Amino acid sequence: MLPTITSYTAPLNSGRFDYTAKSRSAFQTFDPMNQTPLDQVSFRFGKKGPPYPRILGRYSQNRPGPLIIVLCATHGNELAGIEAFDRLLQTLKKGKQPFDGQLVGVAGDLAALNSGNGKPRRYIDEDLNRIWTSERIAKVQRAEKTHQENTLNHEEREMLALLKILKTLQRDHHKQWPQYPHAYVFEPHTTSSAGVPFLIPYTSGLENKVPGVALLGMENIEKNPGFVADYLNRQMPGFYSMGIEGGQHKAPSSVRNLENILWVILEQMGNLAKLDNVPKKQIKKLERQLKGLPKHLKVIGRLSIENPEGFKLLKKSRHNIAPVQPGELIAMDGPRQVRVPNLVGKDLYVFMLNQQDPHNIRKGDDVCFLAERISEAESKVVHQ
């Protein structure tokens, strides 16, 4: 059970923050895994400069409080989370507001993120957000123990590095402040289709702290789905994790959405007493995007691609969450028609429709996910 969960209420604190600022300063920190100095590392959103570091930055005023980890770029082509974290970090550094605990930004699929000559790949060998299973974890740990890391593929090595870093951060934070043994990991994502912010809380219960459509039961659609946040919640004691989808990959609004949600998280988790740095209108704008959408959706299925060369998405939607009818044609997968299952009597939605560039689509990737609207009372049952 997550400690001290309260329902999200919209903060109406006023404050000034320049969302149009172009400047970025170098991260003043170092990677605890290899002691690489990062004080000369800087980057620009969407442009490859020096290689991205594993530790994107950290902030603390050496006051006891929660450990918040922002795990960015689990998919290498999703850069908005890095930009949102950087904006958050730089504003905290410039401000004088009391801050309790510690904020750390971590890069996920570093190999993919630093690939592509300025156009990072989603992944190198396989999707990093699909391999976090007990069996794969045991495999990479055996390889490390027997000094056979060279037998692992790129994403397996990324997973091994992340396991070490996350455990180190939690251990060190707990050692410094024993009254705060938990690590809260928030994983910002974006989608290939435009749309509203939504949350994938898995079993964490953290959706009550953040504005957004909550997609519940994602961890139940397959026997071992291999999602990072699901593994952290279920298999790593002391960790609570949630995925946050901000919008379309390259849309400036996605950066703003993710940044605003991260500010709300810091206030709701107790790192900040109030949101001095987020203007009231930005929070209201975030909430207006959610008007008319259900707060809770239960994920009931996944449609996958079998023929990437012949894949064509037919469902047209301006949003990453869209209502659908039973039997509706969603895509052509070569000669195969991909349709919504004939589930009569359910209020159905599809989300994360695959509008990736063709070079990023591979066999087994998602066409989309399927969900049904549920009540708040039903949402509590999903978590049990």
CATH at 261: 3.40.630.10
Together in a domain, 270 and 351:
no
Same domain, 101 and 184: yes
pLDDT value at residue 224: 63
The pTM of the whole model exceeds 0.85: no
Same domain for 105 and 252: yes
Q: How far is CA 257 from the centre of its chain?
A: 12
Asked whether residue 335 carries a pLDDT value surpassing 50, the answer given is yes
Has residue 99 got a pLDDT over 90?
A: yes
Q: Considering its fold, how many domains does the chain have in total?
A: 2
Q: What tens digit of pLDDT does each residue of 294-304 get? A: 888 999 988 99
* 157 pLDDT more than 90: yes
382 found inside a domain = no
Last residue of a domain, one of 288, 309, 324: 288
**Are 200 and 309 within one domain?**
no
Same domain, 196 and 141: yes
- Same domain for 276 and 317? no
Which residues does 102 contact at the CB level (< 8 Å), separation at least 6?
A: 58, 59, 60, 65, 66, 67, 68, 173
pLDDT of residue 279: 61
Does the residue 32 lie in any domain?
Answer: no
> Do 146 and 190 lie in a common domain?
yes
Q: Which of 260, 288, 316 is the last residue of a domain?
A: 288
Assess if residue 30 is contained within a domain: no
Domain region containing 325: 297-374
Q: Please indicate whether residue 206 or residue 328 has the higher confidence score (pLDDT).
A: 328
| Over residues 350-354, mean pLDDT | 86
Q: Does 313 lie in the same domain as 238?
A: no
Q: Between 193 and 279, where is the model more confident?
A: 193
For 110, 124, 135, 228, the CA distances from 143, given in Å and listed in that order, are 20, 19, 13, 20
The confidence band for 9, taking pLDDT boundaries of 50, 70 and 90, is: very low
The listed range with the strongest mean pLDDT (11-15, 214-218, 312-316, 367-371) is 367-371
Average pLDDT over the chain reads 81
Please check whether residue 156 lies inside any domain of the structure: yes
Of the pLDDT bands very low, low, confident and very high (cuts 50, 70, 90), residue 289 is confident
C-beta contacts of 170-179 below 8 A and 24+ residues apart: 170/67, 170/238, 170/239, 172/32, 173/67, 173/101, 173/102, 174/238, 177/64, 177/65, 177/101, 179/64
Inside any domain, residue 24: no
Given 234, 266, 288, which residue is the final one in a domain?
288
Mean pLDDT value of segment 246-267: 89
The string of pLDDT tens digits covering residues 15-50 is: 222 222 222 222 223 233 333 333 323 333 344 444
Averaged pLDDT, 214-233: 84
Let me know whether 255 and 333 are in one domain.
no
- Asked, for residue 151, whether it belongs to a domain, the answer is yes
Same domain for 83 and 168? yes
Whether 91 maps to a domain, the answer reads: yes
pLDDT at 24: 28
Quote the CA–CA distance of 57 and 105 in Å, as a whole number: 5
Query: Do both 236 and 350 map to the same domain?
Result: no
Same domain, 334 and 218: no
Residue 122 in domain: yes
